Structure 1
């Protein structure tokens, strides 16, 4: 198929990985980068406009739509595939000449933060709506979506693979992900308990003084090789879910074991389906259980390595790459 792919194209983004997944599946893919609309540079005119008006600036959106329409005329796609295009002009997207139009959302579309009124008004006109949240399927159907497909998140072997550490420090516990209210308390308490044995990377964590006071190593967002190196330096890699998305799995569910890290995550049905508790991952339902797991990892690092290796084999030998998800969606069509 000839696929006109509309989504963020910055290095390390899941949208870029999925676009490459379609290419790896044998399709001809042209990517239109939407980063200027979805993630405007901090303190840029577009960023300031979005902060004050609570909507995306019109001028980068207009530029993106011109690129889409120019590419469609030259490329004549069989499919328009839009990765979380809720901030784009829906009428113009749906007017792109392509036999099939697909909208993909990596987040909970039941959360108003992940949609817009304009998108919701046009949702029923998409030929296929794809969600990574199983609970969204009946909700989307009830909202009038023509056809709905659930696919799980995935990992990208280009980035998520075992690699050597970039330093001699070995942390007992680590978390890579954005600061959120439902995570901040746990991470702060872990800093008090484990001090310099805790590694935290992601947006917002540097603004918590208690982490620095506890001597935890704290850094910003990391992607690609830096992500893999950070995972390698941690014995127990936390997989924390987003309660606003009602997550029962997340991208880290696949990325951590694919990178060779020990998966220590929240206990959900989906996590239990994907990895065998006790031999391929370690799951917890509360902080007391997590503390027991961390104590066990500290006392038995060799066993932690064995579980990590088994989790890596399970995830990487099953169909959990972005190319596999691309094939699932094409098969649906």
Structure 2
């Protein structure tokens, strides 16, 4: 019988709120019995929205980043981790990674976005120091090698968190708050705005709910449908379940991105919650869910309008596809508990390649 791997001490750079994709990894590590300590940049970088406060934050950022890195180093010294797991790592300095690695620690970065140079000055300088970089964008692997000389990289798909993204019993209050014809939950971008504006103009009687950042409330034709806030954790899951159609709109990519999204975390969250998904048609997304059987898809804004009208008229078909999508998400291993094994397998390979002096 193979010997069971010993639990690891893991130092993670991650958010700490329910529903965060990075915190899902923290919880998955913990479910496997690993000891995880977290240093979250959210505790150092204030989420100030006012113009004057944002100006103050810009002036303070060098000191804030220095304090965050000092805390990360102190935690590494205290816990002596086996693995440094950094989710994105926009504020992690190169010298911090080097110092932690000098103790024989394996450093892995998990990057979920499209462009490595779109998140401040530290990440592009630090990315090549990680022992391995996981990217959720297939184009990201080649981009890492071409721009940053980083060849220790691989693709890992997004996932759902079984603690959060699951069917829930909805109350009458939940339905009053979240029930709608079509919803989109996510960040704003030019392409998403244009797509939703087209839908709103073509289907003026549609009950469209948009959940996300305050900027959605400034978009012509969409401000009326913006619900005034984002939804997180189980409220996010409830909003998905209560919506007849959940849109899988994709980000076109930041300024430094080699390509836009092919999939996103919502690609897996929506089916796992039991929601009906109408997703932008991409080759990658079609590889995870069968078109017309486990998810619906669209190619352009006109087809999106037609698909919305079609599926609103066929609730039984929606329910059948949503059920099949849910079953596919669970049976095909799209949960974070499966993805985290890929991270741990890579850790063990990297550890095995290290000098015995570790």
TM-score clears 0.5: yes
Q: 1:228 aligns with which of 237, 240, 255?
A: 237
Are 1:191 and 2:196 an aligned pair?
no
Q: How far off its partner does 1:261 sit? A: 0.7
Q: How far off its partner does 1:179 sit? A: 1.9
Structure 2: 5+ residue runs without aligned partners? 1-7, 255-259, 348-358
Give the number of equivalent residue pairs.
Answer: 326
Q: 1:291 aligns with which of 299, 302, 305?
A: 305
Q: How far off its partner does 1:30 sit? A: 0.8
Which stretch has the larger CA shift, 255-264 or 29-38? 29-38
Query: Structure 1's 287 and 109: CA in aligned 2 closer, same or farther, altered over 3 A?
Result: closer
Measured in 1, the distance between the counterparts of 2:77 and 2:53 equals 28
Query: Structure 1's 266 and 317: CA in aligned 2 closer, same or farther, altered over 3 A?
Result: same
Are 1:251 and 2:261 an aligned pair?
no
Q: 1:264 aligns with which of 273, 278, 281?
A: 278
Checking the alignment, whether the CA contact within 8 Å between 1:264 and 1:283 is kept in structure 2 is yes
Are 1:308 and 2:315 an aligned pair?
no
Aligned to 2:4: none
Measured in 2, the distance between the counterparts of 1:219 and 1:301 equals 28
Query: Structure 1's 6 and 186: CA in aligned 2 closer, same or farther, altered over 3 A?
Result: same
Query: Structure 1's 23 and 221: CA in aligned 2 closer, same or farther, altered over 3 A?
Result: same
Cα-Cα RMSD: 2.2
CA-to-aligned-CA distance 1:258-311 (integer Å, 9 cap, x gap): 111111011001111000000100011012221221121121111111101110
Measured in 2, the distance between the counterparts of 1:261 and 1:303 equals 13
Aligned to 1:77: 81
TM-score where L is the length of structure 2: 0.84
Q: 2:112 aligns with which of 96, 106, 114?
A: 106
Query: Structure 1's 218 and 285: CA in aligned 2 closer, same or farther, altered over 3 A?
Result: same
Are 1:205 and 2:212 an aligned pair?
no
Measured in 2, the distance between the counterparts of 1:180 and 1:35 equals 23
CA-to-aligned-CA distance 1:199-223 (integer Å, 9 cap, x gap): 111112122352355xx36331111
Which stretch has the larger CA shift, 199-208 or 266-275? 199-208
Measured in 2, the distance between the counterparts of 1:104 and 1:210 equals 36
Are 1:182 and 2:191 an aligned pair?
yes
Query: Structure 1's 115 and 44: CA in aligned 2 closer, same or farther, altered over 3 A?
Result: closer
Aligned to 2:20: 13
Measured in 2, the distance between the counterparts of 1:312 and 1:15 equals 22
Query: Structure 1's 328 and 152: CA in aligned 2 closer, same or farther, altered over 3 A?
Result: same
Measured in 2, the distance between the counterparts of 1:181 and 1:7 equals 28
CA-to-aligned-CA distance 1:230-264 (integer Å, 9 cap, x gap): 11221110000000151000000000111111110
Checking the alignment, whether the CA contact within 8 Å between 2:97 and 2:129 is kept in structure 1 is no
Aligned to 1:332: 346
Checking the alignment, whether the CA contact within 8 Å between 1:104 and 1:129 is kept in structure 2 is yes
Which stretch has the larger CA shift, 271-280 or 82-91? 82-91
Checking the alignment, whether the CA contact within 8 Å between 1:170 and 1:233 is kept in structure 2 is yes
CA-to-aligned-CA distance 1:21-47 (integer Å, 9 cap, x gap): 222233211111111455633349874
